[in-house]
Structures are given as C-alpha cells and as structure tokens.
Amino acid sequence: MAQTFRGLTVEAIIDLNRQMIESSGDDVFIEPDNVRVEGMIHQITQEVEETYFDQELFPTASEKAAVLCWRIIAGHLFHNGNNRTGVMVLYQTLEHNGYTLMVTDDEMWERAKGISKGRDNPGYMAQDGFVEWVQKHVLRRQNKRRNRRR
C-alpha cells in the first residue's frame, strides 16, 4: 500500500522563509510574504503531486521533497533566503514522510549553492541530478510501534 505524501502548505513554506531570514539577521522579510512571483509557491506544491496518465511524475516522497527544494532555490521564489528555505523545506518534508537525509551540513550547502548558480555556471546542479543525489542519501526511519498480541 502506497504511503500518502505529507507535503508542507504554502503558508508553512512562507513561515519557514520568515524564520530563516529572522534567524540570520542579515536579510529583510518583505511583507506580506516575501514572494517574488505571486502564486509560484502554490504552483510548485501542486506540481510535485501531479499525475500524467495515472502515473505520478514524482512517485516517492523523497523525489517530491527534492523537487520542492530545487524549485525554491533555482526559481528564486522569494526576495531573499531561497537557499535556506529550500533546504529546510527538504528536511521538513522528508521528516514529515518518515525519512532522514544522511549528509553533512557542508554537503547540503554545496548542493544548494550548485542549484542557485544557474545552468551556465560551473558547479551547477540540475533538478534530475539533485533528485538522484537526495534519493541516494535518504534513509527510511524505523517505525517505533511494536506489534502487540491481542
């Protein structure tokens, strides 16, 4: 039986962006939501769950989480804080779906910088490459519930 994907809401993503900016102290959150293009966050949260001829475009939770992260960073959806927000969306989405990303902070930030560079720059990381990298480094957490005898 397939597990239901538990994604973040648009409001939760905007709130994460606000938290990332406030905690860094070096950027300004532009009210009301710091979004550069109205509707883009809603669009990407819907796109990761789309189907084509009854086939999910991104069938696993780790693929969906990676695509959300990549699109936030590469699309520069916010006025500022895109890398931090994209990375936190990745971590939280994986967590909500029972996964852990097994990489160091340095490895994650190198990937985030690679995404944000843009395709014409050395070190750029395309969406497919990032999704593959995430899938190689996720670990399904063990369910702590034990079978009980009746």
- In 50-98 the beta strands, taken as DSSP E runs, fall at 51-52, 55-56
Cβ neighbors of 90 (< 8 A, separation 6 or more) are 65, 66, 68, 69, 101, 134
- Residue ranges per domain, the chain? 10-140
pLDDT of residue 143: 66
User: 65: Cβ–Cβ under 8 A, 6 or more apart, which residues?
Assistant: 89, 90, 93, 94, 97, 99, 134
For 10-140, give the CATH class.
Answer: mainly alpha
Query: Which of 14, 3, 66 minimizes the C-alpha distance to 40?
Result: 14
| pLDDT on residue 2 | 57
User: In Å, what is the CA distance from 32 to each residue of 35, 84, 116?
Assistant: 8, 19, 24
Query: What is the number of residues in the chain?
Result: 150
Query: Tens place of pLDDT for every residue, the chain, 150 residues?
Result: 457 899 999 999 999 999 999 998 877 899 999 999 889 999 999 999 999 999 999 999 999 999 999 999 999 999 999 999 999 999 999 999 999 999 999 999 999 999 998 888 888 999 999 999 999 999 998 765 544 444
Token pair 């480094």: residue: 137
